[in-house]
């Protein structure tokens, strides 16, 4: 038996009491079924949010490189990119994670990058060049952006070709 606070007079009463012995107010309790349902819905909500947040897409592996592609991109496009990244030695046998997404007509090549990598003066120009190369060689001239992301694939910096 536990002690709870009366909602009316805020004095401590037994959790099994139906009426507060101090003020006579009715003690309302959340039933087990209701409590169970509340917990159940909270768990579902957390799972949905987690899924949304960490849904990187479908995974393909190329030479130990992980390539996730979202539902806005076809498997063929993802495979073409993966093969190209192996040819270019981007997927060089070390573990790397990239994600391919498409927003409107723009392909987003999202990659995990170390924090502060943009401070290296050669990184941004070479990324811009890489955008153009991806556009020409993989995406039939469509616009490509590179997103430098943290390890959770959350965009930190967007590199556009211009």
Q: Which residues bind Zn ion (CB under 5 A)?
A: 6, 8-9, 20, 22-23, 25
Could you tell me if residue 57 is left (phi over 0), alpha (psi between -120 and 50 degrees) or otherwise beta?
left
CB of 34 to Zn ion, least distance (A): 22
Measured from the CB atom, the residue of 22 and 79 that comes closer to Zn ion is 22
Measured from the CB atom, the residue of 23 and 30 that comes closer to Zn ion is 23
Instruction: Mention every residue, 6+ apart, whose C-beta is less than 8 A from residue 83.
Output: 62
CB of 31 to Zn ion, least distance (A): 21
Contact call for residues 149 and 112 (beta carbons, < 8 A)? yes
Measured from the CB atom, the residue of 12 and 129 that comes closer to Zn ion is 12
Distance of CA 152 to the CA centre of its chain: 6
CB of 28 to Zn ion, least distance (A): 12
- What single-letter DSSP state applies at residue 73? S
């Amino acid at each position: 038996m536990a002690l709870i606070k009366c909602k009316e007079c805020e004095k401590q009463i037994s959790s099994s009491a139906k009426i507060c012995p101090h003020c006579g107010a009715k003690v309302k309790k959340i039933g087990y079924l209701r409590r169970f349902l509340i917990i159940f819905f909270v768990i579902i909500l957390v799972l949905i949010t987690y899924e949304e947040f960490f849904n990187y897409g479908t995974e393909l592996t190329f030479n130990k490189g992980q390539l996730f592609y979202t539902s806005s991109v076809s498997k063929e496009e993802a495979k073409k990119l993966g093969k190209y990244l192996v040819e270019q030695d981007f997927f060089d046998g070390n573990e790397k994670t990239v994600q391919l997404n498409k927003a409107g007509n723009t392909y987003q090549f999202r990659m995990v990058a170390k924090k502060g990598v943009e401070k290296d003066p050669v990184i941004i120009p070479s990324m811009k060049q890489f955008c153009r190369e991806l556009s020409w060689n993989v995406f039939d001239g469509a616009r490509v952006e590179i997103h430098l992301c943290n390890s959770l694939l959350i965009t930190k910096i967007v590199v556009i070709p211009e």
